[in-house]
Amino acid sequence: MHSDNDNQQGDNALTELWQAQPTNTIDVSEVKKSFNSERVKQRLYILIDIILLLPPLYLVYLAWGEMTFAARALCLFMVVTAVPLVMYQLWLRRVAAFTKDSHTLDHLQQFTHQIKNNIRISFITKHSAWPAFIVLPLFVLERHFAGALSPEKWDKLIIALPIASIIVIVWGVWAHKRQQRFEAQLAVLQSMADKRGH
Amino acid sequence: MGQGFEEVFTQYGALLSRVASSYEANEAMQQELLQEIAIAVWQGLSRFKGDSSVKTYILKIAHNRAVTHVASQVKRVDTHRYENEELGSDGYASSQHSPEAASSQQQSLARLLKAVRALPLQQRQVLTLSLEGLSYDEIADVCGLTKNHVGVILKRAKHAVMQEEHYAQ
């Protein structure tokens, strides 16, 4: 009984101490501003994701009739890879845009799962960069053997190919950095879930 | 929705600030997290159906937002270094609360906050919810646990915090 009283007193003292801590004030005008700008930003990102996908799809649609079987196969491969990635990206943005009122345990599990998926996607994106090095020359060769490349087009390709290669390198490095960032996030989450000094 | 967000912020602003302080030691980061929590709460209130109390509903949102915030801070490479090197053990700027000026209560509070932040996530959430006066049922609702599990986790968390306090004295 004595011990129960001690525990109760200890709990009360702990609660009092906790409630006595200095607190910050919410800046309501800043919250309103951030809320609106965040909403605009999220919508803009979604729009950009969709817009970036549309021109290549449209070009494939326009040129489809003139393409050889090999060119169609390459384009299909690229579309099949890109569309699900963009869809997933849109889904992630939608998830990020909405507030989570799920249980904290659910949130932790969902968030961890999402970060693991992001690591996988970054890994896939990174490793889709180097095949692009193969796909680009293959595409050019296919056009060449199909007799579609005039000397003027070759002149343009000599400029376009290095630019495309640089874009692919930047893409790969960007994906690698994203992968590292998500891995670090996962490490922070796991450490937060497990940590204890003694 | 029963309450407007400004009314909710007035009533629960301090509570939300304490949630922020249980995740971030640095005062600037606490303020930033508090603003993020407030935005999330504002968003969340529009979907509040009254299945639980406003207090437990916003606490769910606040803790979830805080977890996301802490993980996203890896972008700021120097966050933890800054936190550890430039601040006192109480997590408040040393210039504002010098060790000489700090009262016994402030020191106890500093130890408590340090101990709370060192707890594993679930223990930290359960303990701070309990310190905010939530019942076992309400904590179970916020955390997605059973009432018995809440009791076990709370006991462990209190033991760990008390032990920290004991070692410090």
A91/A165 same-domain check: no
For B93, phi then psi, to 5°, come to -55, 130
Give the confidence band of A185 by pLDDT, cuts at 50, 70, 90. very high
Question: What residues does B93 pair with on adjacent strands?
Answer: B87
Number of separate domains in chain A: 2
Nearest to A111 among B14, B67, B122 (CB): B67
Widest distance between CA atoms in chain A: 97
Which residue range forms the structural domain that includes residue A36?
32-99
Nearest to B14 among A11, A14, A23 (CB): A23
Point out the domain boundary residue: A74, A99, A124: A99
Q: What pLDDT digit, counting tens, does each position of A35-46 carry?
A: 888 778 878 888
pLDDT of residue A68 exceeding 90, the answer is no
B119/A195 touch (CB, cutoff 8 Å), yes or no:
yes
- Give A31's contacts in chain B (Cβ within 8 Å): 9, 35, 38-39, 42
A118/A141 same-domain check: yes
Average pLDDT along chain A: 82
Report the distance separating Cα B1 and Cα B10, nearest Å: 16
A65/A115 same-domain check: no
A101/B105 touch (CB, cutoff 8 Å), yes or no:
no
The HSE-up count of residue B84 (CA atoms within 13 Å, CB side) is 6
Q: Is A119 on the interface with B (CB under 8 A)?
A: no
Average pLDDT along chain B: 83
Token look-up 């998500």 returns A182
Q: How far is B72 from chain A (nearest CA, A)?
A: 6
Category of A157 on φ-ψ map: left (φ > 0), alpha (ψ -120 to 50) or beta: alpha
Report the distance separating Cα B62 and Cα B38, nearest Å: 8
A116/A166 same-domain check: yes
The mean pLDDT of A42-68, rounded to a whole number, is: 81
Q: What pLDDT digit, counting tens, does each position of A74-98 carry?
A: 788 878 877 887 887 788 777 666 6
Give the confidence band of A165 by pLDDT, cuts at 50, 70, 90. confident
pTM beyond 0.80, yes or no = no
- Here the ipTM equals 0.80
| Domains of chain B, each with CATH number or no CATH | 1-87 (1.10.1740.10), 99-169 (1.10.10.10)
